[in-house]
Amino acid sequence: MSKKSFFILSFSLFYAAVSPLAWASPPAKTRQTNSIEPFKKTDRVLILAPHPDDEAIACGGVIQQALEAGAQVKVVYLTNGDHNQFAFIVYEKRITFRQGEFIHMGEVRQKEAKAAMALLGLSENNLIFLGYPDFGTLAMFNQYWLARKPYRDFLTRISSVPYKQNLSYGALYKAGNILNDLKRVLIAYEPNKIFVSHPADVNGDHRALYLFMEVALRDLKKVVISPKIYPYLIHCVGWPLPRNYHPELGLQAPKQFLNFGIIWSVLPLTSEQLDKKYRAILSYKSQTQSSAFYLLSFGRRNELFGDYPTIELEKQVSAKERGVSFFNFSGMFADSDTGVLGGLEGFRVNKGRVSYGIVDNSFIVRIEKAKHMSRRFSVLLNIFGYSYKTPFVKMPKIQIITKHDKFKVFNERKIIKPDGVSLVLKSNALILKVPLFLLGDPDFILSSAKVYGGSLPAEPVGFQRIYIK
C-alpha cells in the first residue's frame, strides 16, 4: 500500500481539566565546546565511515593525531559509495546505468580510500570494507530484518555484497548481516574510542551507521568495554559556510543544533595536519572533480564532534489511572499532587519542540509546530525499541506516518493494526501515544521525528537515545 494514502482511524480520548505542564527549559543558545582529550599510545581508535571519503572529511586530523601518539587506528567503511551518479559522469565523462559500472565506481572509491589513508599514515591492513548498498542501508535498518527476501538495490538490482575483496563479500542485503559484521569488528578490535556519523545527518547511510553501532554496542555490553563515542556531522542543510577550502576558519556547530543541549568537542589541527587532510580529500578524484567546493569546506583549523544528550524517562501514571478525574490527553499531562509530570524531557526543533514521556505504559511524543507552519502539519516518526531480553532482530521497527489528524503504523515493511495508538492534533501541537507493548516492551528507545508543514520539510530531529527507568 502506498505511503501517500492514509486511512481514518476512530479512537476515543479522555478530556478533563487543563493544568499547565512545566516543560524542561531549553538550553541557552550558546555554542558549548570542549577539546577532545589528547590521544594516548594505549588508545584503540575506530572510525566508522558510511562511504569512502567520510573518514578523510570528518576525521583526517583524528587519524593523524592518533597515529602520532602511537595509538592504533582502524577504519570501517559501510558502503563503497557506488551511487553518486553525478560524480561518476563528471569523473569518467560518460553516462551509463549498467550494473557492472556501479560496481566499477565502488572499486574506484575503494582504491581512492587506500591512497587517501596512506597519505595520512594509515596502512591498507587497517581498512575494512563491508560493501553494503550505498543509499540503501537506512531502508535495510527500517525494513529488512525479518523480511523473507533481502533488500534489492533500486539501480544495480543487486541484493548481496558484490565486492570480492571485501569482508562481507556475498552477504545478503539484510540488516542482521551488517549488525553481525560490526559486532565481529568490535569484538576483535575492542576500541576505546569510536568516531561515527551523526544521528541527525541528512544522508540516510550516515544515520543508519549510527543506529547499527548503537545496537551492536548494546548487544555486546557484557563482552566489550563501553567506548567513548564521537559523532561527526557532514550533511546538514546550509552548512558549513562559506564553501571551499578555508584553513583560516574554524568549523562551528550549525545553528539548527543550538537548542539541543549538545556539548560539541573540537580537535584543533596544526597547519601540517590540515595540509595532509587537504591532500587526502583531493585523493578522492572521483568526488572532488564535481564537489571539491563542498568537500573542502571541511578543511578548517579544527574538527567537530557532538551528540544529543541522553534522555532518561521514568514511568508515570496519569491521575485518570489513579482514579482521580485529572487527565488531559491534549498534551498537558499533570501529576494530581504537584501539577507537573516528572521525567518528561523537552528539546527544540526549529522554533517548535519535541518532547517525550512514558505515561500509563505508553510512549508519548508531543511535537509543537513552528509558528510558520500550517495547522495541518504532518510527521514521520521512527521508533526502535531495544530490550535486553529480546534479540533486536525480533523487536518491532515502528514507523508512524501522520497526515494532519490521520495516521498509519508500519512494522518493518508491513502496515499493522495500531492497537492502542492514538493521535491528537491541536492548533499548536501533535501528540502521539504508542503503547510500550507495541514497541516490544523496550528498556531503551531510539526515536527520530521529521515534521512537514508545507512544501518543504522542517529540519529533522535526529535519533535520540531514550532510557526507560
pLDDT digits (tens, 9 = 90+) for 62-105: 999 999 999 999 999 999 998 766 555 555 656 666 767 788 88
Arithmetic mean of pLDDT, 279-294: 92
Look at residue 91 in the predicted model and tell me its pLDDT.
57
Q: How far apart are CA 182 and CA 169, in angstroms?
A: 14
Other Cβ atoms less than 10 A from the Cβ of 126: the count is 17
For 173-209, the pLDDT digits (tens) are 999 999 999 999 999 999 999 999 999 999 999 999 9
For 302-341, the pLDDT digits (tens) are 999 999 999 999 998 875 654 433 333 333 333 222 223 3
In the predicted model, is pLDDT for residue 14 greater than 60?
no
For 113-158, the pLDDT digits (tens) are 999 999 999 999 999 999 999 999 999 999 999 999 999 998 888 9
For 313-324, the pLDDT digits (tens) are 999 887 565 443
Question: Which domains occur in the chain, in start order?
Answer: 33-305 (3.40.50.10320), 311-468 (2.60.40)
Going 349 to 464 to 54 to 202, the CA torsion angle's sign is negative
Percent of the chain with pLDDT over 70: 80
Q: Are 352 and 367 a contacting pair, CB within 8 Å?
A: yes
Taking CB atoms within 8 Å and a gap of at least 24, the contacts of 159-162 are 161/130, 161/131, 161/132, 162/103, 162/106, 162/131
- Cell reading at 162: 558484490
Arithmetic mean of pLDDT, 437-452: 94
- Cell reading at 447: 526515536
Nearest C-alpha neighbor of 216 from the set 443, 399, 392, 397? 392
Arithmetic mean of pLDDT, 261-278: 96
Residue whose C-alpha cell is 530490550: 387
Q: Give Cα separations from 250 to 119, 199, 253 (angstroms).
A: 23, 22, 10
- Residues with Cβ within 8 Å of 431's Cβ and at least 6 positions away in sequence, in order, are 329, 330, 331, 364, 365, 366, 367, 423, 424
Nearest C-alpha neighbor of 183 from the set 207, 143, 159, 218? 218
Look at residue 94 in the predicted model and tell me its pLDDT.
64
Look at residue 275 in the predicted model and tell me its pLDDT.
97
Q: What is the CA radius of gyration of the chain?
A: 23
In degrees and rounded to multiples of 5, residue 14 shows phi and psi of: -95, 135
Decide which of 108 and 11 is more confident. 108
